[in-house]
Amino acid sequence: MSVTPGDDHSIKDAEHGLTPSVSSESTDAAAHGGVKAVEATQKVYGKYSKWFLFIGLGLSAYIYSLDGTTTYNYLAFATSSFDHHSLISTIQVAQSIIIAVGKPVIAKIADVSSRGSAYFIVLVFYVIGYIVIASANSVNAIAGGIVLYAIGYTGLQLLTQIIIADITTLKWRGLVSGLISMPFIINAFVGSNVATNVLNGAGWRWGYGMFAILIPVSLLPLIVTLLWAEWKARKLGLTSNGNSQATQSNETLFRRVLTAADKLDIFGLLFLGTSVALILLPLTLSQTAKGQWHNGSMIAMEVIGCVLLPFYILWDFKFANFPVVARRFLLNLSVVLACLIGGFDFLSFYLSFSYLYSFVIVVKPWPLLHMTYFVQTQTVALTVFGIGAGIAMRFVHRSKPLLVVGLAIRLLGCGLMIHSRGANASDAEVVWSQILQGIGGGFAATTLQVSAQASVAHADVGMVTAIVLLVTEIGGAIGTAIAGSIWTHKMPERLAVHLPFVSADERAILFGSITSVTAYPRGDPIREGVIMEYHLMIYTAYDDVMKILTIAATAFSVVPFALSFFMPNWYLGDQQNAADNEDLAGEKADAPPPEKS
């Protein structure tokens, strides 16, 4: 942040160590042509075109939400139709890795070219992916289609957040980000009904195929608006693309490819993507691999992944002209803390959530529809209170207090699960443990993203958003892997303790299939053995394992709460960011008022 004479607030922030590391490297026009184009388009938007932009964002947010709450239901049926249901985990691992590491790629494209062209690329991957899945003749085709679709899915999620950062000032950003998630409130319940009707009617192919039609219809208004604004800005001479295009026209095709690869940091992305993939795959696949961690391929993947990580750091620090994770990001306290808080928060969440649905199906005599609604409780609460956090930031003009309070509430909800996990816990107690986590998560997610974006110049907002989401989702993958490892190792052991009168083969069936457990009626000795030990009145197999998961989740949730106290407390005013104090058009904004003591 540049400190100007008379800017009391900036001086006070600098005295408290809140000044980020910002260099000319962050505003290089060659690397961030898309950002310059965005700033230029702010000068051409009128009243109606701005509303058209918001409508386009709303449509894209709704279709993203509907996709996320329906299509995951179809994969089991799609793979089963080719007699390869066991490959679900492998496909989901590939999908999660693409969703994680694809974010820096999409962010780079949006920064180097333009937001509109990045959206178009996302649309192409989305449509092709769903067409491949819908017309698949083998499970390999399904896997390939899902990898293509995942690029579009992660790109749409990221670009929507980047566009919101482009067109909103800091004081409004949290609220707009929360409002754009409102479709999840509706689709948390509507999506289940849509998926059920599709599976009972047209079938899983149309469940995927209909999005090949819905996605273009929903995204085209936004893409057209963005491309129109970029074209008009060029026509009015507000961008300097003409000179760069003339220069490029004199270059050979090979040279232009090298230039594009340099701007996108292709080598850095390859090192990063391969490293993350090789580290994550063993964590999620080791339990199903032959020999588990004694399998040489598992160890080899981990070793190669860990070895590639230093090569990636060396490349980005010493050789890359436009690195994905620049050194200035690692020296920026807000960015580092946002990554760590997000990563540990997701690690904690997935530790307790990964097997929550399975646990509730076994221990609670609820109708299946009510169980589905229960699993969506956190999503709904998170969305509602994310909007509440945005409203609060609009008037408080600070994000840190809300972040600390949100993570404290989330810790409380997570700790409550240690007790409420019991089969005999009241329904209200079980539900409230999820509501509290959703309330805290809503406050934390909104404030965390704004805090990271506030600390960097506009040219870095897209990449910082991608990096924070990347680390956050890696934390989620690690949490899922730990939960899977605990469940796989502990559940057979606890079933043997609580069901000594059942044969080993039958216990293996009970462990491997939730439906085999729920097939026994309430009151049946075998099912009651899974739920509750009669004579000793202690927690049973599922309670025992969930106790381990919830204690571990609560322990990890302490880490983000503790880290939140060190987050810089940025003033959220009429700037696009607090680093260079510029408005949405790239002009110097009015100095923020001094911080009240």
Q: Over the stretch 261-271, which tens digit does the pLDDT of each residue have?
A: 777 777 887 88
From residue 176, give the alpha-carbon distance in Å to each of 180, 350, 561. 6, 27, 25
DSSP character string of 424-435 = TS-HHHHHHHHH
**Confidence at 11, pLDDT banded by 50, 70, 90:** very low
Comparing 497 with 554, the larger pLDDT belongs to 554
Highest mean pLDDT (candidates 197-206, 234-243, 247-256, 357-366)? 197-206
The CA distance from 491 to 443, in Å, is 34
Please state the pTM of the whole predicted model: 0.76
Q: Is the pLDDT of residue 543 over 90?
A: no
| pLDDT for residue 44 | 75
**Can you give the pLDDT at residue 297?**
80
Q: What angle do CA 38, 40, 45 make, to 5 degrees?
A: 85
Could you tell me which of 424, 418, 433 has the C-alpha nearest to residue 381? 433
Q: With b meaning 16 or more CB within 10 Å and e meaning fewer, what string describes 506-517?
A: ebeebbeeeeeb
Three-state secondary structure call for residue 532: strand
CA atoms within 13 A of residue 78's CA, in its CB half-sphere = 30
CB 561 within 8 A of CB 408: yes
Sorting pLDDT into bands at 50, 70 and 90, what band is 519? Answer: low
**pLDDT over 90 percentage in the chain:** 12
Model pLDDT, residue 12:
35
> What sign does the CA torsion over 313, 316, 317, 323 have?
negative
Q: What is the mean pLDDT of residues 187-204?
A: 80
Residue 188 has pLDDT above 60, yes or no: yes
pLDDT, tens digit, 9 for 90 and up, residues 406-443: 999 999 998 888 877 655 667 788 888 889 999 999 99
Q: What pLDDT, on a 0 to 100 scale, did the predictor assign at position 228? A: 87
The confidence band for 585, taking pLDDT boundaries of 50, 70 and 90, is low
Average pLDDT score over residue span 56-70: 87
Query: In the structure encoding, which two tokens stand for residue 140, read together?
Result: 């390999």
User: Does residue 119 register a pLDDT over 60?
Assistant: yes
The rounded percent of the chain whose pLDDT value lies above 70 is: 75
Tens digit of each residue's pLDDT (9 = 90 or more) over 146-166: 888 888 888 888 888 888 888
